Amino acid sequence: MHAPTEPSTPSVQPDASTRPPRILVVDDAPLNRKLLSAILDREECQVLEAENGERAISLARTESPDLVLLDIMMPGMDGYEVCQALQADEQTRSIPIIFLSALSETADKVRGLELGAVDYVTKPFDRGEVLARVRSQVRIQRLSESLREANRELRVQAKTLQSDLAAAADIQAALIPRARPEAKCFDMAWRYVPCTSIGGDVFNLVQLDEHRVGIYMLDVSGHGVPAAMVTVSVSQTLTPQGGVLTDPNAEGEQIRSPDEVMRLLDDEYPMERFDKYFTMFYMVLDTRSGELRYCNAAHPAPTLRRADGSLEYLSEGGTIIGMGGVMPFDEGRVTLRPGDRLFLFTDGIAEYTGDDGEYGEERLEEHLAAAPAGDVQQACDEVVDSVNEFGNGRHPNDDITIVALEYRGRSPGDPSQT
Amino acid sequence: MHIETNNHGDVLVVKLFESRLDSYVATDFRDAMDGFISQGSERIVLDLSKVEFVDSSGLGAIVTTQKRLGRARDLVICGPCETVMRLFKLARLDKIFQIVNTEDQALTVLEV
């Protein structure tokens, strides 16, 4: 088979592994081209011929051969120059080149190989040698081609996954408060550092009625996409319309007690459902009186730092959500006074592991106890900074969330405010 | 995952030879335990003495096993190190699981 006369076929062949190998023979001597064509024809190769360097480069671009057999000594562009030109062009760079020449000096072979040729055949041609070298290069070329193709597909898939993850992260970011609440009776701030772009921690605050807010924080087992999707589902359930935090059909008190909320969630999210469980802290704060009712479902106990510096831990509650009612959930009560600060966090902080071991509960407690009065955002930032410093900037292996709330109490003369 | 099993009467003793029962091992572990239960094991002693760390995925796998067994009393955990015990306590699962120090104690609990 000889060079086709019709214009170029598409450069990417869908059936690259089954079509006959296409080989470009470049030699200024018609006799040599004829000889090589004859050898290759019997191998059922498709042979393209070029009588000089310029023609070779143009054919390489339009026909995308699987292999180039390239003479060195040619009038005009010599083989080395052609080789350099093919190597410099993105489109032809990956086509393997075998040099053909009467030159048998080692220095010439080395020069050819250094320019990027894959092999070398010396004239006069030995039929068996030419075929063996051509076959092996075509095989390598085909394998590389399928690798490149697979690589391309993987890159496309990775890119799709990346953008999906970024979209998921945006959705998840909408589950936490957009901005610090504008409440007069308390101030609240937070830091949230997921260990991948999305995570299994979530928290939010919900205005339950005129003067009561519900605040929850939960940590779904595992992390990454599956955990993040559970946070989306649970967050939906915990919206004011979700039917869990409040009971619109109840006569009298419609706001559910924290322990009742945990029981409902435990019912709604049995471990078998998503193969996930979660720990959770939920509290209802009466912003006028400071009365705080809470239930802690195996979540790290929030630390209450009283205005006088003493520490209390909100640990009343029960086991993880998803166990199916094996243990009762108890309610805890405490009253906040102006100047008290409450810190909610996930286990990603205490369990953060750096070169020197775990960050640890003690270290966290020391930080919370020592946090100077002032902006609650600063208190959150200081904890996260201290974790980063401890780990020398190493990325966390679990999601890290901390929320700080300072109770201010009701200012006189404004009975309605929250 | 490296796991070894022994039968003591109708009780299956499962010993996990992994230093970490975390998200990399949890699925295999859960599937293995699932397999034992499907093959008819109704009472299991889980020996965690070689395990130094359990994360939330690992804990989930243990909880799933316990739930699949049906009755909480049919799973006895033995030999958890301090770190693992701390996790059980934090999750308050120490009140649900039966946790003892040694395999012999576990077998005694199950009256083997």
CB contact under 8 A, B92 and A319: yes
Both tokens of B97, joined, read 């699981």
| CA nearest to B94 within chain A | A319
Residue B80: count of CB within 10 angstroms of its CB: 23
- Give me the pLDDT at residue A399, please: 85
- Give me the pLDDT at residue A7, please: 45
Is A232 within 8 Å of A307 (Cβ atoms)?
no
- How many interchain CB pairs under 8 A, A with B? 50
- Give me the pLDDT at residue A103, please: 67
Q: φ and ψ at B4, to 5 degrees? A: -130, 145
Q: Which amino acid is at A85?
A: A
- Give me the pLDDT at residue B84, please: 94
Q: Are residues A109 and A203 in the same domain?
A: no
Both tokens of A287, joined, read 């912003």
Which domain CATH number covers B27?
3.30.750.24
Residue A170: count of CB within 10 angstroms of its CB: 11
- Give me the pLDDT at residue A412, please: 56
Task: Look at residue A269 and tell me if it is in a domain.
Answer: yes
Q: Are residues A306 and A233 in the same domain?
A: yes
Whole-angstrom Cα distance, residue A186 to residue A290?
10
Look-up of token digits 């996260």? A384
Whole-angstrom Cα distance, residue B108 to residue B88?
22
Which domain CATH number covers A89?
3.40.50.2300
Last residue of a domain, one of A150, A185, A201: A150
Domains held by chain A: number: 2
A300: domain range? Answer: 177-407
Q: Are residues A111 and A244 in the same domain?
A: no
Compute the nearest-CA separation of B12 from chain A (Å): 23
Q: Which of residues 33-92 of B touch A (CB under 8 A)?
A: 55-57, 59-60, 63-64, 67, 72, 90-92
Whole-angstrom Cα distance, residue A68 to residue A99?
8
Which domain CATH number covers A312?
3.60.40.10
* Three-state secondary-structure class, residue B33: helix
Q: What is the pLDDT of residues B89-104, one digit of tens each?
A: 988 889 888 999 999 9
Please enumerate in sequence order all residues whose Cβ is within 8 A of that of A376, keeping only pairs 6 or more positions apart, or say none.
A187, A188, A189, A341, A404, A405, A406
Nearest 10 degrees: CA dihedral of A152, A157, A163, A169?
Answer: -140
Neighbour-count burial for B19-41, b at 16+ CB within 10 Å, e otherwise:
eebbbebbeebbebbeebbeeeb
Please enumerate in sequence order all residues whose Cβ is within 8 A of that of B49, keeping only pairs 6 or more positions apart, or say none.
B15, B78, B79, B80, B81
The average confidence (pLDDT) of chain B is 92
Q: What is the pLDDT of residues A169-183, one digit of tens each?
A: 888 888 999 888 888
**Which residues, given as ranges, of chain A have pLDDT below 50?**
1, 3-14, 417
- Give me the pLDDT at residue B96, please: 85
CB contact under 8 A, B63 and A272: no
- Give me the pLDDT at residue B106, please: 95
Domains held by chain B: number: 1
- Give me the pLDDT at residue A10, please: 41
- Give me the pLDDT at residue A17, please: 59
ipTM attached to this prediction: 0.79
Compute the nearest-CA separation of B48 from chain A (Å): 20
Paired with A68 in beta bridges are A24, A97
B77: domain range? Answer: 3-109
